[in-house]
Chains A and B, each alone.
Chain A
Amino acid sequence: MTTLTHTVDMSPRRGARWLRHSLVLARRSLAKTSRNPGVIINGVVTPALFLVLFLYLFGNAVAGTTDEYLQYLFPGILVMGAGLTGLVSTGTNINIDLKNGVTDRFRSLPISRLAPLLGSVLADLVRYLGAVVILFLIGLALGFRAQGGLVAVIAALGLAVLFGFCLSWITVLIGVTLKSAEAVLAFSFLTFLPLQLGSSLATPTVSLPGWLQAWVNINPVTSVMDACRALLNGTPAGAPLATTLIWCAAIFVIFCPLAVWSYGRRDM
């Protein structure tokens, strides 16, 4: 009955165990995405719809021609794609795990409390990358021309993914804190409107009324979109790039420890 056909070395291995465990859990998360690719589709289809709608609704009015407007609008859509993928996947996945008992098993294993969360966020990185690359191809098909060169394109895509990664930690915190996956989704979408649309996505900030301009100017999403736009269009990106990196660092430094802490203390 208990005879084993294999001899297995059970002694603990050395090295960065927390990182290895995070990668194992990231692979789990990606395996689930490959069985259920709705998350990526969501992260691609919604921004793509906004892209096409805005382009043909406002293109002529805002920029004179749709071609010119595409150059303005598209970089912001990329950022939206990265932000949206994390919004619907990370928070809800973690919340579902917490409720169905899988998390209890993880938390009773001798692994770092960081690993399940980091695993989920690392998997998100891959999902963002998928969403952003698909969106970029859609943009090219519609006639977008990246004038900043290949390095700038990679930098812009990287920036969008980096911002999505930092934003993930906010959704992780929401996912750990709220009671149900539905609540997480509802809350996430409430933040979606002011953050993603209340930005420089569709029109330059200067054309907005004063109260909205005030919000749009402090909205971190605006600086990410401005930085990506500058990079892709080959204009000077220094200022928005610096602001973006500061925002990314601030969000990460505040929300990552907060998320890990509240995950660890849940029930404890």
Chain B
Amino acid sequence: MTDHGLETYALTKRFGRTTALAGVDLALPRGQVLGLLGPNGAGKTTVIRILATLLRPDTGTARVAGYDVVRQPAEVRRRIALSGQHTSVDEELDGRANLIMIGQLLDLTRRDAAHRADDLLARFGLTEVGGRRVAAYSGGMRRRLDLAASLVGRPQVVFLDEPSVGLDPGKREELWQLIRDLGADGVTVLLTTQYLEEADALADLITVIDQGKVVAAGTPAELKHQVGGHTVTVRVTDPADADRVAALLAAVTGRSPERATRQQLAVPVNQDDDFFQITAQLRDQDVDVSELSLRLPSLDEVFRALTRPATVAPTPQRP
């Protein structure tokens, strides 16, 4: 038996004429967090539904916690938990009753289920609203309850389908911390997301999928290296400085910057040190800058970089 928390081999799934998955391979060691990154319709949810035994793959195999999802679904269900894209708690019951119900379905006595519910409510900061109907919960509270409901059975593998969709940044941070705690507890986590930032913040490994196929896989560092890491954006106050800055950026990074507007230039950097060099040289050359930033590539940029041959766009020459 392998020591993989989950692994899939050549997974395919069609819905009518639509190919949802066209051969997906995944491998994740126990206790690690895998970020499954891709745009809407890439097949992320289909992967999760197959691994959670809700959907049968057309071909290929998938094992979760060492058990085949098609041949041993009962063994898999005993070890997994699913936290959906859409909230999967009962709106008409209160939060505590939701958790108690799950506990009883997992064969706890009512008393033990109540204890487990109270522990989880406390851990997720929901003790005070435990007696309130879920329909009255805020988005963040609901998401936390959903995650708590997933943990009632102490699962070995947890699936989180777009866990932070619709949360404001503060609540998202809060949720991220809870997900990190799962990893620290030795739980294997598969989370899907549309945001590189989220995968980067949480995942040990990232697999990028698009149109049902794996486009790239690796650690966040490997992946960022593959797509050119961070991007430096410079907005000059005076458009007349733009050419001078373009030359400066090209000299430091060895790439031609892209010009979004007459005043704004962007260039991918490979080493963190590049940013400091750029800052230093801008100061030395006394360029007046209205914006200067270092950011991760957007998902668009990642896909462009991963799905197209790596050519350096020529800088448009302006008269």
Contacts and interface: CB of A to CB of B under 8 A. Distances in A.
A107 B87 CA distance: 15
B93 A31 contact: yes
B175 to A, nearest CB: 15
Contacts of B102: 105, 109
B282 interface: no
A165 to B, nearest CB: 23
Interface stretch (B76-84, B192-200, B209-217): B76-84
B88 interface: yes
Interface in A1-37: 1-2, 4-6, 8-10, 12-13, 17, 20-21, 24-25, 28, 31-32, 35-36
Given A6-B116, A28-B101, A100 B88 contact: yes
B84 A104 contact: yes
Interface stretch (B23-31, B103-111, B224-232, B250-258): B103-111
A54 to B, nearest CB: 35
B207 to A, nearest CB: 21
Contacts of B153: 10, 109
A190 interface: no
A197 B149 CA distance: 45
Interface residues of B, number: 44
Contacts, number: 104
A109 B123 contact: no
Given A28-B93, A36-B92, A267-B49, A104 B54 contact: yes
Contacts of A101: 84-88
A102 B89 contact: yes
Given A24-B104, A31-B97, A32-B92, A110 B77 contact: yes
Interface in A28-85: 28, 31-32, 35-36
Contacts of A6: 112, 115-116, 118-119
A31 B134 CA distance: 14
B106 A109 contact: yes
Contacts of A111: 105
A108 interface: yes
B87 A100 contact: yes
Interface of A: 1-2, 4-6, 8-10, 12-13, 17, 20-21, 24-25, 28, 31-32, 35-36, 100-102, 104-111, 115, 267-268
